[in-house]
Every structure is written in structure tokens, then in C-alpha cells.
Structure 1
């Protein structure tokens, strides 16, 4: 029995259509249909109801899903345990955010390249909200974001918590003394993308201090925020782990603000699916790398 045909069966079930499975597996829809027809002939059963407009499993098809998952999971575990990492090939699509790109992602890439040189990574950088949508819709294999994503079909692996600090160009003369949120209201503020958890958290901190939130300019690019703050165009809360170079050069100084900005907690999110072995392995690698750098 062809394992690829069983995998195709599971992808159709998971994505809900022959066409979506064809796109995911880089095959034609006719090829996908032929694989299922061949599998059904070998088993002597009908797995899908062809008379329905939507892809619908027959009772036998529904019973076959957990067994098929066991087969694929066992095959992948066997391959991972026995095969040389250098023989594993393929592409893993990862969605992530700017905070991770500027913190532990380069170290993760280095580790993946060392262990799995045949694995290519298709990387997309966006907001946590958009990446969470993509992993929920199964458009990517792995999400590295500010999570978790509440979906029973997804695994959320915590990657650690990163401390955030307020920084500014030294020209403002704000360093060396305790600052309140009321003190911050008199300066332009750059912060995380609008609608993100850190953005909502920042607004809440001002309200908790009995203050109307000031005008806050937003960006999902930490490089942009750092550049604007370094050029003296405003103050900003940023992950401490990414600031070493800017603080050492004197372009930015760390401010003593109370209460402190809420730390960022990252998660690796991936579908709990038997053919998702490589994304799950990379998620564990991400946890190892990230937790070694987390400081909160």
C-alpha cells in the first residue's frame, strides 16, 4: 500500500477538498483523484461520498482517519529515528513576527541548517494576528508568534517570555531618573502594530494609571521603530534582547519607567497532525533556542 496515497487521503480530510490537497501537495487535482481511486480499489471500499457537493467522508472513511493517522505518524517517527538528518528533504512554511526575527530566529535557522541541510524554510513575516489566521487556516506549517492560538487542533508550545524596556535618544534627557506614565505623555511614542496584544497592553497601562492614552504611532517593524527612536523622533518600548548594539553605541538609552512594560510571551504553534513531524521538530528547536535567550 502506497504511503503517499494514505497521506493524500488525510490531507483531503484536513483541508476539506481535493483541490486544496492538490495545491498543498503540489499535484494536479486529477492526480489526487487518481490516488484516492487507487486506494479505494486496493481497500475495496469507498472513502468519500462522491454524490455530495462538498467533500464528505463515508462511514468507512471516517473510521479510516485515525488508523491512517497512526500509519503516517509511525512512518514519520521511523524515518526520524533511523534516517540520517542529511537525507531529509522538503520545505517547511513558517510564519513569524518581527520581534522574533530580531531576537532568536537567526540562531534557530543556524541550528536547523546544521541538523537538516536538506530542509528549506519558506518564511513570511507579518503580525501575530495575521500569522495566527494562517496557521488556523492551515496555510502554513508552523507559526512563531505571540500566542497562544485557541484551537483544539493546534499545539501551542511556549517559547519563553522576553522583557521589554523603554528607550529613547539621549537628547531627551530622560535617563537616570524614575519616570511615570504621566511623564511619557509629553513625548511622541512608537509602539507595536495596532491591534496587537502589546499595543492593547500599552493602552491599558495608561488607563490603569488614570491617563488618557496619548497619540501612539504604530509599526510591525521593530527595525523601523528602533531607527525612529535612535534618530530622536520619539520614545519606544522594545524587547531588551534586541537592543545591545543600539545601547552600546549610545544611540539609545534605557529609561526607568514604572510600571514596567508588559513582557512578551512567544509560542510555536502547529497542527496536531501525524504528517507534521518536521514542523514539530523545528518547534522544539525554537523552544530550546528561545528559552536560552529569554530574560523574563
Structure 2
């Protein structure tokens, strides 16, 4: 999401210059209750989505990858979980899907080589809003974030094809 948040905020400001955007960055688990209690108008957030709301647009699935500092010397070879566990691993917050996937992978107790380049499932994003009560500009803002996210997904896919 960090790759398209700035472009989305610029497009939103261009289309709706009189609207003040108050940005709240938090986990989806924290954003959802605020959306349902009408404390937030629009939440671009990652799944899983515990509750349904009347309005929303798909923003796509964004892949996740393992990243290590070059100085760790982990590139160019198959790694075991033991190899990885020798270093601090920064993950998503507890209770999130990527954290649980990593925890489950490690919890098997088998320290197997990660020859297949295991990565967490892609994060699915949606822009959620209350379709019955949201002003029309909130609905349009959800559509704008969808457009911006699609542009960034397409650019990432093009880059991946060129590097393959």
C-alpha cells in the first residue's frame, strides 16, 4: 500500500480540493471498528475482513516477499528456518494474516530448506465504506483508490515480466 498511498492522496486532493483528509494508519483490526462506528468514512485495508459493510471496492492482491539486508549474506542459497532464525525477523503485527502464516510455518517444528521460496499469501486489499450513509465523494474516493491501486499493480506486473 505504501507505493500507491501518496499518488492516491494527490489524486484525491486534485478531484476534491475542499475536502480535508485526516489520515489514520493502523492495523485493519483497529480500523474496522472505527469504520463501523462511523469514526472513519473510508478504509483502504488488507484482509481478512471480519465483518461485511455495505460498500467496498476491490483494490487487488499485492504480493509479499522476503527481504534481507545484503550484509547478512543470505542471498544465493536455499535457507532453512534455522538460518533465518539466527537473525531478527521483522514481521507484520501479531494477529495479522502474514504473521499467522509465518508463525504456522515455523510452528511445524521442521527446519526444512525453503527451496521453493516460501512467501506469505498475497495481501488482499479493499476500500470499505458505508454505502447507505456515505456522502457521494466517499464513494468516488473509493473508486479513485481502486484506480490508483490498479495502476500500481499493473506497473509491478510489467516490471516483474521485464525482469524475468
| Equivalent residue number for residue 103 of structure 2 | 203
Contact 1:148/1:269 (<8 A) preserved: no
Please tell me whether residue 126 in structure 1 is matched to residue 26 in structure 2. yes
Contact 2:55/2:131 (<8 A) preserved: yes
Contact 1:165/1:261 (<8 A) preserved: yes
Under a length normalisation based on structure 1, what TM-score does the superposition of the two structures give?
A: 0.47
Higher RCO (CA-CA < 8 Å; seq separation 6+): 2
Q: CA deviation at 1:208?
A: 5.0
Q: Give the total of aligned pairs.
A: 152
**How does 1:71-82 map onto structure 2 within 5 Å?**
none
CA distance, structure 1, for counterparts of residue 109 and residue 56 of structure 2: 33
1:283/1:208 CA distance change after superposition, 3 Å: farther
* Larger helix proportion of the pair: 1
Match of 1:266 among 125, 132, 150: 125
Match of 1:181 among 81, 87, 108: 81
1:279/1:147 CA distance change after superposition, 3 Å: farther
Q: State the secondary structure of the residue aligned to 1:114.
A: helix
CA distance, structure 2, for counterparts of residue 118 and residue 168 of structure 1: 43
CA distance, structure 2, for counterparts of residue 114 and residue 289 of structure 1: 13
Contact 2:48/2:97 (<8 A) preserved: no
CA distance, structure 1, for counterparts of residue 48 and residue 128 of structure 2: 7
* Larger strand proportion of the pair: 1
| Equivalent residue number for residue 172 of structure 1 | 72
Aligned Cα RMSD in Å? 2.2
| Equivalent residue number for residue 144 of structure 2 | 285
Please tell me whether residue 144 in structure 1 is matched to residue 44 in structure 2. yes
Contact 1:160/1:266 (<8 A) preserved: yes
CA distance, structure 2, for counterparts of residue 208 and residue 288 of structure 1: 40
CA distance, structure 2, for counterparts of residue 190 and residue 150 of structure 1: 25
| Equivalent residue number for residue 162 of structure 2 | none
CA distance, structure 1, for counterparts of residue 126 and residue 134 of structure 2: 20
CA distance, structure 1, for counterparts of residue 91 and residue 50 of structure 2: 25
**How does 1:250-265 map onto structure 2 within 5 Å?**
258-265=117-124
1:209/1:164 CA distance change after superposition, 3 Å: farther
Please tell me whether residue 154 in structure 1 is matched to residue 54 in structure 2. yes
Consecutive unaligned residues of structure 1, counting only runs of 5 or more, are 1-99, 212-255
Contact 2:58/2:125 (<8 A) preserved: yes
**How does 1:39-50 map onto structure 2 within 5 Å?**
none
Q: CA deviation at 1:206?
A: 2.2
CA distance, structure 2, for counterparts of residue 146 and residue 179 of structure 1: 28
| Equivalent residue number for residue 232 of structure 1 | none
CA distance, structure 2, for counterparts of residue 276 and residue 149 of structure 1: 23
Under a length normalisation based on structure 2, what TM-score does the superposition of the two structures give?
A: 0.80
Please tell me whether residue 110 in structure 1 is matched to residue 10 in structure 2. yes
